[in-house]
Structure 1
Amino acid sequence: MATDEECTEEEFANLAEDVRVLKLSQFVEDIVIHHVEQYMHWHVAPAFWEKFKNTEDGQRGFELFKSAVDGLYIKFTEFLPVLKKLEYLRRNKDVATDPSSAENDIEARFKLVVRATLLSQLPLCHECIIEQFYKIAFNVFCNSDNSSQDISVNDIQCIGCAQGVDNCQCQMIVYMFHETNRKLIELKLLERLVGNVLTSLIHIRIENHVIQTCDKTFDVSQLIPLENWLETVVMNWLIRIYSGGFSKTVALSDEVRNAINKFKQKLSHFLYETYTRIRIDHLFNIIIEYPESQPAVDDLRICLERTDQRKVLVKNLQEAIKTRLLHPGVNTPDIVTAYIAAIKALKHLDPTGVLLEAVTEPIKSYLRSREDTVRSVVNSLLDDSPSELADELVKGECLQLDDGSADDETDDWEKWMPDPVDADPGRPRNFISGVLKAVCVVWADIYIYISVLNIGFILSAKSMQRKVSDIISTLVNVYGSQDLFVNEYRTLLADRLLSQLNYHTEREIRHLELLKRRFGENQLHYCEVMLKDVYDSKRIDGNIHSDTSYNLQRELFPTSALILSAQFWPPFKEDWQLKLPNIVQNQLNKYVKAFEALKGNRTLCWKPHLGNVSLEIELKDRKLDINVTPIHATIILHFQDKNEWALQDLAEVMHAPATVLRRKVTFWVSQGLLKETSNDVYVLQEESTSKNRLATDIVEEEETESVMASASDQREEELQVFWSYIVGMLTNLDSMPIERIHQMLKMFASQGPGAVECGLPELRQFLDRKVREHQLLLSGSFYRLPKS
């Protein structure tokens, strides 16, 4: 090379001419390139990679990478004179070549040699230094717009370069950054050397930015701000990298511009994936806060259309629901409230109902296992305060049950869309009709179009179709039948009517009319009779009190009655008859005689443990006006005749169970009227010894207990109807499997009006309970009666 440098231009021209005449141009070029490659391999590449030392100091890593690129670029410039001479030889080559071809470009060939030599000696830790270089530069770039504001707030350290404000190096870092990128671009090493590091660094930056921006913020849409950030920050930074410092793509070649656009599409997809993943992690909270969190649901809906993460959503949300909601520590009303929020949010997220169907299956199974679910739902329906279910009830939509029926008359077959790919294939939907309708569209020009179309509609009417029901219908479909809800409402209505002190039914009539629009009039006929009983009771009571023959008898205390039609009201909880004091019973007998005189051949059968009694109690130092139940009133009236009672003696006089009486007596003990002197012995307290609670508070607590039998108790009583049939069958046939027992019960015990139905799973539980009670024996799969 020294000889080349010492040659004058005239000598080199003569030498080049001799090489051309001898046809040695290609040979000389190969020899020179070979020596250059050897020099790069043994000297340049090791010196370049020697700078890539693993260090945790980011500033040190920035300087090392810049120094390595600078050293490589210096070596490149040293070889430029040699490359120019080779280019001169090529122009005078004996064989004509295309100077525009990349393969015939000496400089391009040299750069290829440089890249190949460097990458063949690639060390394992090289990405650490590159990452530190671009991380510092990216941080300076991101904070360049607000650096002045940050400096005014924090006069100690610059957040861009992490140096003191007086020694800020942001401008210098930006300059060195652009210079380094320009040199890498000129050497065509930028993409090969730093491409993976840039991608990884940008992915980390995008993920951190999404987490910081969207963490627990659900009431504002974040997609558009995130897209703007990606365009103005990330893509602007990339353009500056590939353009050597320019902020516009006009300085780039078409190839680089297309590469940046493709990279932008990949980064945009990664942004959506990251945002979707974070929103899925927060989806349980988003559902609980719905509808305030609707912007987050809208964002997630858009993201799910662009990313394939529906299965991840279903799995993660089900796990969150099981962990945070479906356990004994959560009250049933709270679970129902969360379920309603999930219905509304998931219907908005996926109008097809597929996600709702898949996600809420564990909630439905868990709600079916809780005994108070139906009561919680009915209470929410009838709640006078604002609630989701009360608002839904006012809408007055018809109940939509999953009974396999579908109203396809209103379907617009031209707008038919198939179920999503993640729909449950185990549940048949409108597949056949959809196929036929699609065939109709394809065969629209053929003469058999009308006949195929008619067949499609006929089969469609018989097929099942996914219809997203309203909230109340969805809750009813948890049990698959509306009978449980109607019976629970009937029990709740009975509790309300029996607990009030007047005949006012306006609120209950309004609720009943709303429920009739949902469940139908036939289902609620009993409830109509119950309300009519209240109205008739008011009229009859007024007639009795206006009867002169009744008024001629001295009424020791005012008496009013709620007269019930026994066959229409649900069964009562108490199975014992309270014996009232004689003074009370005599007054009730007078009321019965007046009723018989008014109604002829009809009479009254009192339920003495039900009702309300207004008492005025006078003691030595105080006077109490209080409303209590008949059993409470009977207890205290007996202490009027006798100051001290043993619990067992009082229970015999009142014909009440001692266990029930012990609990009722504590009411008067808490009021300071009674005192337990010894075990189950109570004495009347004429004088107060302490400040007591208000009586009305205790009464309210007592009245929250339902006087009606629970739904499970009522169902148990209904199932006992089958027991006599089962005993008869096993007596005659010795032993039977459960399937045959079920078939025979359907044939003989479940026929006629008012018959009780029993499914196979419920029958199995009933028979297994009889086995545990030793009333049945189970041998293999056959049930039989125990031998006496």
Structure 2
Amino acid sequence: MTAVMDSTDIQVSDDTTTLLDWLSSQIFPISGPQELNIPLRIRNITRNTADSHIYLPIFQRLLYSLASNLESQYDGNVMAFFKCLESSTTNLNLIYIFFKFSNNDIILLKRSEFSIYQDFIQSIWDDLISLFSENHKSSDLYLVSKILMKINLFDELDNFIFQLSKCRIIHKINNMYDVQPIYESLKTWIINDLYLSFESLVSFKNSKVFKDCLLLIAKNHLISKRTNQIYDLVENFPFTTETLKEFNVCLNKTSQKDLLVEQFILMLNKNLLLPSIKTTDIILYYIKTIHALLLIDHRGVLLDKVARPIRSYLCMRNDTVEKIVNGLLSTDREHNKLIELNDELNKNLFHSTNSGSSVASSSLQKRTLNWQPDPIDALPDFQVGKIDDTIDSLTSIFNDNNLFINQFVNIFSVDLLNITDYNISNILKNLSLLKSKFSNDDFNKIDIMLNDIVKSKSLDLKINHVLQTNNSIHGVFLSHLYWPNLSSNVALFKFPPAIQNDLAAYELRYKNLQNGRSLKLHPQNTKADIDIEVNGVKKSYLVTLDKLAVLNFIDESNLEPVKLGIIVMNLGMPLQLVKTSLEFWVTENILVESNGGWKVNE
């Protein structure tokens, strides 16, 4: 049997081929965007077709073949791709209408079409973000946004705008970053510039939170940079006060706070908590840390965490107590690097005297108007009401207050022994300040020492009222069991005859007034006023009796020079005490060394 080909079949085949060729040229043309121009032959084909639904498989097959061709057609030019995409989606939409597809068919075709575009755009997403993060034209941005909306990538459009905004914010922060605060200026720029530029491009569901998200991005990046700089910001306090307050505004996440603590402790161990760093400098930085961290977190939770390694390190230093006590008591602003402790001590007494309320409560009210309970993760040392008291924070490093009390006793005893006019007003003031911070009972020894000085003034006045001596002698009568600087092994030695006679007369008068009680002289704490003229220059000194005895012996000796052994033997003075006295007078240029001995510098 011979098969006969129907002319109608040939006609349909030719039409299909023609239709496929033409459609292929319209779907994402390699030559770039072009206007839709439907040839007459294509119009005739569709005109002779009663049901356009028969072309649906052809369109679907062509669309899916497009998916494999996009990658080969894409040359890395993002904007060229989106311009072609704009033309292609527009033309295809017109073609769907031209072929008189039903609404259901059009929906099906568009789903296929958009799915292809969506997948490919996801693959070039990094190129898209990179292009706009560096620079962009407003027209290009709106074109990309329009296409993403057109192909139903609304979430991706939001993501694109957010990422682009993030890049611009980071770029802005990097350009304007400074040790001075920048957040308020950054916030103004975001609200009045960046937000207004991008607001219309964000989907409705995210538009309400868009501004807050931009501000959050700014806060996160700014805090990230500030965290890396936290050690220097604290070191430069109080000049960085306003910048430190930015942490309080910008810290939002627990992870950010943890990173801040971790970074700070890392820098502490690297730069501060080292044997080469002086204890005073560590204490000074610790004080700055207290002030700075309370600006960041007024509840003190962060301070508690970063302070622990500093407190532990200071606790191991042998001179920490001494440095704190000296800082509390010294009023020398030029040499006392911890003068703030003295200022706070005086301030505490003033407030407690005048307001009747604690400084801690007052400062707490300044920090926050809303009461909050103590953080459960804060140490007792840092509970609200105590945390911003620098003195309490320092003294609480040690569990035993006696360490501080003993140091106070040592310092006060030295100061009292150096008094020449029985005037203890300054010491009484300092003691009153300390009692405002410590218990009164802790200072019993100092009270006894002060009482010794007060009684000594009265007794000395009675002795000198009737006593006639060549030298002016004034005694301080000490309850030696309570004075830490009085050695039980007092070095006694021979005094110059004139002084020896005056001391004997003074002691006799004392016995008469005190019902036979005797005195035990303490030469190392007994001082004499002397005037010395060397080479026509007159100098006045207040020196202890050992120094006076050594100088007097050399001056009156017939030997020149006077050997060390001669001095020791004749005065009966310990060798080391003689050496110390000689070194003092040589330093003052009163004595000079000569031929293995000493003589007066004339």
Classify the TM-score, shorter chain: 0.7 to 0.9
Aligned amino acid, residue 15 of structure 1: N
Secondary structure of the 1:683 match is strand
Secondary structure of the 2:386 match is coil
* Separation in structure 2 between the aligned mates of residue 200 and residue 215 of structure 1, nearest angstrom: 24
Aligned amino acid, residue 390 of structure 1: N
* Separation in structure 1 between the aligned mates of residue 132 and residue 297 of structure 2, nearest angstrom: 45
- CA shift at 1:486, angstroms? 1.4
Matches within 5 A, 1:322-337: 322-337=269-284
- CA shift at 1:378, angstroms? 1.6
Q: Equivalent residue for 1:721?
A: none
Q: 1:203 to 1:656 in 2, by over 3 A?
A: farther
Q: Equivalent residue for 1:439?
A: none
Q: Equivalent residue for 2:215?
A: 268
Q: Equivalent residue for 2:172?
A: 209
* Separation in structure 2 between the aligned mates of residue 79 and residue 235 of structure 1, nearest angstrom: 35
Q: 1:337 to 1:619 in 2, by over 3 A?
A: closer
Secondary structure of the 1:615 match is strand
Q: Equivalent residue for 1:560?
A: 474
Aligned amino acid, residue 438 of structure 2: F
Candidates 210, 231, 235, aligned match of 2:195: 235
Instruction: Kindly indicate whether the alpha-carbon contact (under 8 Å) linking 2:590 and 2:600 is maintained by their aligned counterparts in 1.
Output: yes
* Separation in structure 1 between the aligned mates of residue 392 and residue 283 of structure 2, nearest angstrom: 14
* Separation in structure 2 between the aligned mates of residue 286 and residue 677 of structure 1, nearest angstrom: 58
The superposition leaves residues 523-564 of structure 1 with CA deviations (integer Å, 9 ceiling, x where unpaired) of 2122122112212222222211111xx22xxx2221112221
* Separation in structure 2 between the aligned mates of residue 317 and residue 39 of structure 1, nearest angstrom: 56
- CA shift at 1:262, angstroms? 4.9
Q: Equivalent residue for 2:114?
A: 111
- CA shift at 1:340, angstroms? 2.4
Matches within 5 A, 1:722-761: none
Q: Equivalent residue for 2:445?
A: 526
* Separation in structure 2 between the aligned mates of residue 310 and residue 70 of structure 1, nearest angstrom: 46
* Separation in structure 2 between the aligned mates of residue 114 and residue 368 of structure 1, nearest angstrom: 67
Matches within 5 A, 1:219-230: 220=181, 222-230=182-190
The superposition leaves residues 342-383 of structure 1 with CA deviations (integer Å, 9 ceiling, x where unpaired) of 233334544444333322122222222222221222222223
TM-score, reference length from structure 2: 0.79
Candidates 505, 514, 521, aligned match of 1:606: 521
Secondary structure of the 1:581 match is coil
- CA shift at 1:418, angstroms? 7.1
Q: Equivalent residue for 1:284?
A: 231
* Separation in structure 1 between the aligned mates of residue 259 and residue 433 of structure 2, nearest angstrom: 40
Aligned amino acid, residue 614 of structure 1: D
Q: Equivalent residue for 1:651?
A: 568
Secondary structure of the 2:274 match is coil
Residue 576 of structure 2 corresponds to residue 624 of structure 1: no
The superposition leaves residues 249-307 of structure 1 with CA deviations (integer Å, 9 ceiling, x where unpaired) of 3xx6xx81323545555443333222333333333333344455443343323433555
Q: 1:596 to 1:368 in 2, by over 3 A?
A: same
Q: 1:129 to 1:580 in 2, by over 3 A?
A: farther
The superposition leaves residues 405-449 of structure 1 with CA deviations (integer Å, 9 ceiling, x where unpaired) of xxxxxxxxx9874745xx27xx799xxxxxxxxxxxxxxxxxxxx
- CA shift at 1:133, angstroms? 4.3
Q: Equivalent residue for 1:683?
A: 599
Larger CA deviation: 67-76 vs 601-610? 67-76
Q: Equivalent residue for 2:340?
A: 388
Q: Equivalent residue for 2:130?
A: 131
Q: 1:594 to 1:233 in 2, by over 3 A?
A: same
Candidates 457, 463, 468, aligned match of 2:386: 468
* Separation in structure 1 between the aligned mates of residue 570 and residue 457 of structure 2, nearest angstrom: 33
Matches within 5 A, 1:540-619: 540-547=459-466, 550-551=467-468, 555-572=469-486, 575-583=489-497, 584-619=499-534
Q: Equivalent residue for 1:66?
A: 79
Instruction: Kindly indicate whether the alpha-carbon contact (under 8 Å) linking 2:563 and 2:598 is maintained by their aligned counterparts in 1.
Output: yes
Instruction: Kindly indicate whether the alpha-carbon contact (under 8 Å) linking 1:576 and 1:656 is maintained by their aligned counterparts in 2.
Output: no
Q: 1:617 to 1:416 in 2, by over 3 A?
A: closer
TM-score, reference length from structure 1: 0.61
Q: 1:338 to 1:236 in 2, by over 3 A?
A: same
Instruction: Kindly indicate whether the alpha-carbon contact (under 8 Å) linking 2:480 and 2:486 is maintained by their aligned counterparts in 1.
Output: no
- CA shift at 1:230, angstroms? 2.8
Aligned amino acid, residue 492 of structure 1: I
Q: 1:210 to 1:10 in 2, by over 3 A?
A: closer
Aligned amino acid, residue 582 of structure 2: V
* Separation in structure 1 between the aligned mates of residue 455 and residue 342 of structure 2, nearest angstrom: 29
- CA shift at 1:607, angstroms? 0.8
Aligned amino acid, residue 531 of structure 1: L
* Separation in structure 2 between the aligned mates of residue 273 and residue 133 of structure 1, nearest angstrom: 21
Q: 1:210 to 1:89 in 2, by over 3 A?
A: closer
Candidates 69, 80, 83, aligned match of 2:96: 83
The aligned length equals 541
Residue 553 of structure 2 corresponds to residue 634 of structure 1: no
Secondary structure of the 1:556 match is coil
Larger CA deviation: 105-114 vs 506-515? 105-114
Aligned residues: CA RMSD: 3.6
Matches within 5 A, 1:245-394: 249=200, 256-262=203-209, 264-384=211-331, 387-394=339-346
- CA shift at 1:175, angstroms? 3.9
Q: Equivalent residue for 1:742?
A: none
Q: 1:131 to 1:10 in 2, by over 3 A?
A: closer
Q: Equivalent residue for 2:30?
A: none
Instruction: Kindly indicate whether the alpha-carbon contact (under 8 Å) linking 1:339 and 1:363 is maintained by their aligned counterparts in 2.
Output: yes
- CA shift at 1:208, angstroms? 4.5
Q: Equivalent residue for 1:35?
A: 62
Instruction: Kindly indicate whether the alpha-carbon contact (under 8 Å) linking 1:646 and 1:682 is maintained by their aligned counterparts in 2.
Output: yes
* Separation in structure 1 between the aligned mates of residue 269 and residue 142 of structure 2, nearest angstrom: 53
* Separation in structure 2 between the aligned mates of residue 638 and residue 661 of structure 1, nearest angstrom: 11
The superposition leaves residues 187-242 of structure 1 with CA deviations (integer Å, 9 ceiling, x where unpaired) of 556865x877765554454345335545322xx5x444333333334333433xxx
The superposition leaves residues 297-353 of structure 1 with CA deviations (integer Å, 9 ceiling, x where unpaired) of 433234335553332222222222232222233332222222223233334544444
* Separation in structure 1 between the aligned mates of residue 133 and residue 228 of structure 2, nearest angstrom: 30
Matches within 5 A, 1:109-188: 109-116=112-119, 118-119=120-121, 122=123, 127-128=126-127, 130-137=129-136, 173-187=137-151
Instruction: Kindly indicate whether the alpha-carbon contact (under 8 Å) linking 1:73 and 1:183 is maintained by their aligned counterparts in 2.
Output: yes
Secondary structure of the 2:437 match is helix
Secondary structure of the 1:626 match is strand
* Separation in structure 2 between the aligned mates of residue 345 and residue 518 of structure 1, nearest angstrom: 23
* Separation in structure 2 between the aligned mates of residue 276 and residue 615 of structure 1, nearest angstrom: 66
* Separation in structure 2 between the aligned mates of residue 276 and residue 541 of structure 1, nearest angstrom: 68
Instruction: Kindly indicate whether the alpha-carbon contact (under 8 Å) linking 2:166 and 2:217 is maintained by their aligned counterparts in 1.
Output: yes
* Separation in structure 1 between the aligned mates of residue 428 and residue 549 of structure 2, nearest angstrom: 34
Q: Equivalent residue for 1:15?
A: 48
Q: Equivalent residue for 1:738?
A: none
Q: 1:610 to 1:67 in 2, by over 3 A?
A: same
Instruction: Kindly indicate whether the alpha-carbon contact (under 8 Å) linking 2:299 and 2:374 is maintained by their aligned counterparts in 1.
Output: no
* Separation in structure 1 between the aligned mates of residue 526 and residue 380 of structure 2, nearest angstrom: 53
Q: 1:289 to 1:529 in 2, by over 3 A?
A: same
* Separation in structure 1 between the aligned mates of residue 295 and residue 86 of structure 2, nearest angstrom: 58
- CA shift at 1:621, angstroms? 4.1
Q: 1:209 to 1:605 in 2, by over 3 A?
A: farther
Instruction: Kindly indicate whether the alpha-carbon contact (under 8 Å) linking 2:374 and 2:384 is maintained by their aligned counterparts in 1.
Output: no
* Separation in structure 2 between the aligned mates of residue 561 and residue 626 of structure 1, nearest angstrom: 18
- CA shift at 1:577, angstroms? 0.5
Segments of structure 2 that go 5 or more residues without pairing to the other structure are 1-18, 24-37, 334-338, 353-369
The superposition leaves residues 52-108 of structure 1 with CA deviations (integer Å, 9 ceiling, x where unpaired) of 1xxxxxxxxxxx33333323434444434422224x2315xxxxx5x9xxx826445
- CA shift at 1:476, angstroms? 2.1
Aligned amino acid, residue 172 of structure 2: H
* Separation in structure 2 between the aligned mates of residue 649 and residue 377 of structure 1, nearest angstrom: 45
- CA shift at 1:659, angstroms? 3.9
- CA shift at 1:491, angstroms? 0.9
Secondary structure of the 1:523 match is helix
